[in-house]
């Protein structure tokens, strides 16, 4: 990695590659395969340099080479470290991360929670493999590099760039399996003069280590029982993201187990989300399993975050809290996380 100073007139953008569909190829049988993408990555960079303005310089750093459906907490740790390391060079103007779309929303959240540098980080990918006759990766990468090189992108945090859409990381979600406009952002409408509070983007007070902190997402469809909740607790989960219905409501048997768990294990933090694609999860309804009753038990609501990003946030808060003085009891740590949760999730 270069350490040469780069002026604002000659921006240097570092592309961190992780594999994914943007460099994937298609087998004779029609299967799209990610990994072993060095030749495709080099071709992508050559094509990019051919169309970039001369004053923008790009270099690449391979971080991972795999399908993002295989990514998890260990890969989030690798990418947070890699981006921080790249930005330790003052000559770098911005970072682009190429990433598979399957788990891009989780990585974007993990990066954004740590990104307190004004320089932009853009995450991009593709819905069609590199050898597709209408591959969308090259245009997405060009857009991401141009965005990362533009001073207007400073102080906006991590940005998701696909299909000509530019979205802030918090609240973003993959909304379509094949459409080139792969992502949408779950957020309320705000007039220009009333900027949403999430633009402040509070970052973590320390470095989270995701691989050391287990948080499970549990689907809670109509009629579900408590088997999955108990299994996660028995497996050592520190937190549970409960994906309910409506604005964040749970089936009766799950609600009963959650109530019992709140009494018996106050050290386990529970957050209720919703299977509904858009809108806010709020403690609105009373009654057995209603969000308001859950809130009375200390269960948090995910707001405009959906399950994937809520999981990343909760794991990050638990991990950072673990680095506090050792005499902090687990139940006290959980209480502090419940208190600070609205500060970090979207639109508190």
The answer to whether residues 167 and 238 belong to one domain is no
- Which one of the listed residues 18, 21, 23, 98 is annotated catalytic? 21
The answer to whether residues 46 and 168 belong to one domain is yes
Cβ distance 299 to 271 under 8 Å?
yes
Q: What mean pLDDT is predicted for residues 112-131?
A: 95
- The enclosing domain of 313 has a CATH number of 3.40.50.40
Helix (H) or strand (E) holding 300: strand 300-301
What's residue 348's pLDDT? 41
What's residue 328's pLDDT? 65
Cβ distance 1 to 46 under 8 Å?
no
Q: Of 185, 200, 227, which residue is a domain's last? A: 185
Per-residue pLDDT for 347 more than 80?
A: no
- The enclosing domain of 103 has a CATH number of 3.40.50.1170
The answer to whether residues 137 and 215 belong to one domain is no
**Rounded Cα distance, 52 and 176, in Å:** 29
The answer to whether residues 158 and 253 belong to one domain is no
In a domain, 201, yes or no: no
Burial-class residue 27 by CB neighbours within 10 Å (0-12, 13-18, 19+): exposed
Give yes or no: 21 in active site: yes
**Rounded Cα distance, 119 and 115, in Å:** 9
The answer to whether residues 179 and 265 belong to one domain is no
The answer to whether residues 16 and 98 belong to one domain is yes
What's residue 3's pLDDT? 33
Number of separate domains in the chain: 2
**Domain with 60 in it:** 12-185
Place of tokens 């529970």: 270
What are the E-state strand segments in 20-108? Answer: 25-26, 32-33, 57-66, 94-98
Beta pairing class for 172-174 and 183-185 = antiparallel
Cβ distance 164 to 172 under 8 Å?
no
Average per-residue pLDDT for the chain: 90
The answer to whether residues 148 and 274 belong to one domain is no
The answer to whether residues 224 and 307 belong to one domain is yes
Cβ distance 271 to 300 under 8 Å?
yes
């Amino acid at each position: 990695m270069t350490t040469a100073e780069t002026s604002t007139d000659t921006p240097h953008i570092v592309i961190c590659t992780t594999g994914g569909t943007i460099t994937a190829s298609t087998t004779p049988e029609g299967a799209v395969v990610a990994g072993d993408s060095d030749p495709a990555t080099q071709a992508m960079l050559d094509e990019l340099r051919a169309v970039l303005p001369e004053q923008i310089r790009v270099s690449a750093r391979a971080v991972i080479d795999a399908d993002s459906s295989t990514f998890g907490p260990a890969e989030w740790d690798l990418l947070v470290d890699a981006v921080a390391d790249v930005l330790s060079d003052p000559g770098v103007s911005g970072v682009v991360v190429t990433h598979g779309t399957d788990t891009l929303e989780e990585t974007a959240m993990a990066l954004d929670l740590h990104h307190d540098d004004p320089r932009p980080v853009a995450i991009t990918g593709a819905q069609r493999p590199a050898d597709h006759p209408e591959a969308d990766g090259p245009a997405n990468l060009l857009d991401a590099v141009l965005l990362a090189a533009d001073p207007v992108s400073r102080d906006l945090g991590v940005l998701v760039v696909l299909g000509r859409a530019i979205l802030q990381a918090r609240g973003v979600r993959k909304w379509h399996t094949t459409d080139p406009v792969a992502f949408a952002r779950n957020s309320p409408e705000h007039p220009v003069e009333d900027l949403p509070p999430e633009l402040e983007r509070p970052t973590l007070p320390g470095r989270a280590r995701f691989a050391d902190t287990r948080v499970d997402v549990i689907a809670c469809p109509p009629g579900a029982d408590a088997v999955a909740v108990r299994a996660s607790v028995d497996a050592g989960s520190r937190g549970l993201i409960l994906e309910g219905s409506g604005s964040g409501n749970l089936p009766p048997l799950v609600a009963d187990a959650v109530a019992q768990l709140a009494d018996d294990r106050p050290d386990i933090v529970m957050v209720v989300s919703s299977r509904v694609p858009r809108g806010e999860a709020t403690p609105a309804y009373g009654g057995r399993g209603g969000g308001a009753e859950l809130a009375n038990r200390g269960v948090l609501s995910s707001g405009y975050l959906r399950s994937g990003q809520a999981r990343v946030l909760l794991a990050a808060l638990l991990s950072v809290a673990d680095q506090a003085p050792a005499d902090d009891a687990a139940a006290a740590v959980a209480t502090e996380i419940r208190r600070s949760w609205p500060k970090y999730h979207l639109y508190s």
